[in-house]
Each structure stands twice: as C-alpha cells, then as structure tokens.
Amino acid sequence: MGERSFAEDVKQLGYGTGEILRGEGILAITKALLQSGVSYVGGYPGAPVSYLIDVLADANEPLLKPLGVYFEQSGSEAAAAALLGASINYPMRGAVTWKSYNRQDSVLVILDNFYAAATGQHHVPSTGTNARNEPLPMTIPAALRGLGVKWIRTVNSYRIAEVMGTLREALTTRVPGLKVIIARNECMLERQRRERPDVRRRVSAGQEVVQPRFGVDPDVCTGDHSCMRLSGCPSLTLRESSDPLREDPIAHVDDTCVGCGVCGEVAHAAVLCPSFYEVRVITNPTRWTRFVSRMRAAVIRRLAAATA
C-alpha cells in the first residue's frame, strides 16, 4: 500500500463547533483523539493504525506542535509503549490547549490525587514538592490560567455533593468557553502509607489518637447494594443479615476502611439510604475523653429510660 499524504485534509482538524469535517474516517478518529486531551502520541511503521500515524505526521508542524501535543514516530513497538507509559505524568496540557484553541463551550474535569499512581506514587508538578521534598510553586490553576481558561473551580473529590453541585453549575452557567473543574484530594492509599507509621509511633508513646471509621447499621440496611455499585470501595463488602425475614445480604464496612467517607457521601448525595454512620476510634483516651464519654452514656441512658 502506497504512502498517502493528508497535508490538505489535516487543516480540517482545527475546525470548531458547527463546521463540517469532510474526508476519510481516520480524520474523524484523529479529531476525537485530539479532543480527548491527548498530550503524547507514538507509533511505529507497520502498526495497525498506520493511517492514523500518517495523519498525525502531516499535522505535526501546522497543528500539533502549536497545541503542545508531542508526536513521535517510534522505531519499534517497544519504543511506542515506553512513550505511552511516560504520557501519564502530566497529560493536562494537550486537553486544555486544544479545547481553548477551538473555543469549545464544554466542561473538563481534572482528577488530581497529587501523584502518578500507576507508576508507584511518584511526584508530579501538582504534588507541591519534588522528589527531594523541595517546595514547588507549580499549580494546576496557575497552568490553566496561563492557557487562557477563565472559569476554574476546585472541589474536594471525596465530597460527592459538592462535586455534583459544581458540575451542575458548570453545565448550566452562561459563561462561554471552556469550564474546568479540579477534583482534588490526596490518594487515600498513599495517605495511609504516609500516616500509619506516625500513628503507630504516637500509639506506642501513649498519646491519644483519633481515627475516623465508617459503618453500616445492619438494622437499617435493606440489602439494596446501590452504595456498593456507586462507590466501588474495596472495604465495602457483604455480610449475612441477622434478620430471618431478609434473604439478601447487607452491606458491611470491613477493617480495611481508611475513613475517606466516600461510601457515606455517595449514599447521602444520591439519597439512597440512611444506614451509613461515622464513628471515631480513640486509642489511649485521656482522662477528659473518658469523662466526656461517661457523661454522654449517662445522658443517653436517662433519655432512653424517659422514652421507654
């Protein structure tokens, strides 16, 4: 098969809303690829996507480089795979530049957990420090403003109601152009790796340690399991119900819970059920903590007796 030139066709890749893309289907695929926010593209001769590589090669100088999209024709499949593996480090640039360039009236959500988790939780520019723990002034909002984005909101990714409210605002606002939501909070697994040694040290030293835990009230849970389907938390499992009239197993939070609260947030934000509760596990309680606990227990017993 002879090599095909797409030098004229790639001019259409810069089309915006309302403009019609005409040509081979590979142009539409390339357009979708760029609009998805890709920052790095690699391929090698003889790949199943050879035509895609041909299109990108012709678009490299007039379009990809000005948009900050890095393209490389690799010498082998292994080289292409290594290039794609490196693309997870900081892929925000291509998505924002492309959408701003085309003046797209759309919403982009950036998930920022402070680390590049797929490669071992190593630091990225948004972590705040480099590998030597030196502070860095590089932030995602500053980078977005530098790319021309006006509408920027930062939300706590573990507060589902807040995220949903911000999404509604972004989808209904009359502000034109790209809207960016930064869903930001530290990866809970990495946070536990960082905090557990300190917790063990404080417990060994006899200091008071308070840790949040979440649970499911077995008397309230109906076994609907919607919370499990929505959160996907590995700590949210099933257990047999003690009620003989209920055949379905009920939800249960096991001892691997790290206290992020997403399970309860999902349940309450979706108005699913009131069975989730939060407790605080106190190790080495102080005298004041024990006194407050006794007073609370006494008040609860008195109220229970009065309503009996």
How confident is the model over 39-90, as pLDDT tens digits?
A: 667 766 665 566 777 888 888 888 888 877 777 777 666 666 555 444 444 4
Name the DSSP letter for residue 294.
H
- % of the chain surpassing 70 pLDDT: 77
Average pLDDT of 136-150? 81
Query: pLDDT at position 1, please?
Result: 43
- pLDDT number for residue 201: 92
For 93, the token pair is 């640039």
CA atoms within 13 A on the CB side of 178: 24
* Least confident piece of the model among 90-99, 141-150, 217-226: 90-99
Encoded tokens for 27: 């142009």
Q: Is the pLDDT of residue 288 over 90?
A: yes
For residues 147-163, give the mean pLDDT: 86
- 3-state SS string over the chain? CCCCCCCCHHHHHHCCCCCCCCCCHHHHHHHHHHHCCCCEEEECCCCCCHHHHHHHHHHHHHHHHHHCCEEEECCCHHHHHHHHHHCCCCCHHHHHHHHHHCCCCCEEEEEECCEEHHHCCEECHHHCECCCCCECCCCHHHHHHHCCCCEEEEEECCCHHHHHHHHHHHHHCCCCCCEEEEEECCCHHHHHHHHHHHHHHHHHCCCCEEEEEEEECCCCCCCCCHHHHHHCCCCEEEECCCCCCCCCCEEEECCCCCCCCHHHHHHHHCCCCCCEEEEEEEECCCHHHHHHHHHHHHHHHHHHHHHC
Between strands 276-283 and 209-216, the pairing is antiparallel
pLDDT at res. 87: 43
Nearest Cα residue to 152 out of 130, 183, 192, 118: 183
Helix (H) or strand (E) holding 77: helix 77-86
Query: Per-residue pLDDT tens for 163-190?
Result: 889 988 988 888 888 888 888 887 777 7
